[in-house]
Amino acid sequence: MNRFCRAKNLLLIGITILSCTIKMSPHAQNEIFSPCTNEKYNGEAGAGFAINQWVHKQDTHTLYIQTYPGISASIFYKQFQKQGIFSGFGCLEGILPIEWDDVLEGGFLFWLRMHIGGQFEFPFFTLRLIFMPDFWLSIIEGQFAAGIGMNELDVYQFTGLFHNSPKSNPNLWLGFRNSSSALGLVAGSEYSIEKNECVRIEYSYLRRAPYSFILSRDDLNSIEGSVHYFTFGVFRKF
């Protein structure tokens, strides 16, 4: 399977694996978007950090690959437009891994991820669908690489969220998220500091998806364990 950014290919350069099973962590991106669009604004920018903890069993004959950084920092820029109950949006997220197993050893990695999609907003429930192409570059052990493509583990994400009133402060949500590799629970909150400034947190508990429109059954079976994924961000709306 062609895993994100070919970074994992760099990880395997020079290594000969005989009779070795490869297992990967499930992943669905914490979108950290509010389920309720404020019609007074048409964009926002912010910054945050994320912690991604993979829990899995250990086997001496298995190579374990964490598919998202254990610790990372992000910057966000988002534009959106609401018409009735539908809100369309595009978001650009820059991700800088800080801790990521052996991937970052002796190197640097950065990528830009786009969130393109929309959501239907009902009084206490929101349905959201997004697609996420990304651009990446890496400098690992003196070797430079760059490219653009779609990450097979989360090409698409479908999210359903129950939430309180959009006028509430804090705004709370709880629901599910399904990507091409993962299915799990998601919970989050937005607290407004000023009229156009807020802090958001989002937590996901992820496991392997029972079915995927993108991954083969063999690829899906290579995903193992569970992930605790926490994101915190500060945003300014405009």
The answer to whether residues 129 and 117 touch, using CB atoms and an 8 Å cutoff, is yes
Instruction: Tell me if 208 sits within 8 A of 183, measured CB to CB.
Output: yes
- At residue 155, φ and ψ (nearest 5 deg) are -55, -40
Q: What tokens appear for 15 in the block? A: 């290594």
Token representation of residue 165: 């009133």
Q: Where are the domains of the chain?
A: 4-237
Segment among 142-151, 187-196, 222-231 with least mean pLDDT: 142-151
Answer with the residue of higher pLDDT: 12 or 182. Answer: 182
Distance CA 119, CA 37 (A): 9
Question: What CATH number has the domain spanning 4-237?
Answer: 2.40.128
Distance of CA 126 to the CA centre of its chain: 18
- Tell me the pTM: 0.86
* Per-position b or e across 5-43, b if 16+ CB within 10 A of its CB: bebbebbeeeeeeeeeeebbbbbbbbbbbbbbbbeeeee
Q: Read off the amino acid at residue 96.
A: L
pLDDT (0 to 100) of residue 3: 40
Lowest mean pLDDT among 9-13, 74-78, 125-129, 233-237: 9-13
User: In terms of pLDDT, which residue wins out, 78 or 145?
Assistant: 78
Percent of the chain with pLDDT over 90: 49
Give the pLDDT score at 132. Answer: 85
User: What are the pLDDT digits (tens) for 92-129?
Assistant: 998 888 888 766 565 667 788 888 999 999 989 999 99
pLDDT in tens, 191-218: 999 888 999 999 999 999 999 888 889 8
Q: What is the pLDDT of residue 141?
A: 60
Specify whether the CB–CB gap between 100 and 76 falls below 8 A: no
Q: Which residues pair with 53 in a beta bridge?
A: 228
**Region 167-186 average pLDDT:** 94
- Predicted confidence at residue 113, as pLDDT, reads 85
Give the pLDDT band of residue 21 (cuts 50, 70, 90): confident
The distance in angstroms from the start CA to the end CA of the chain is 40
Summarised one tens digit per residue, pLDDT across range 42-79 is: 899 999 999 999 999 888 788 888 888 899 999 999 99
| pLDDT for the residue numbered 6 | 40
What is the pLDDT at residue 138?
A: 65
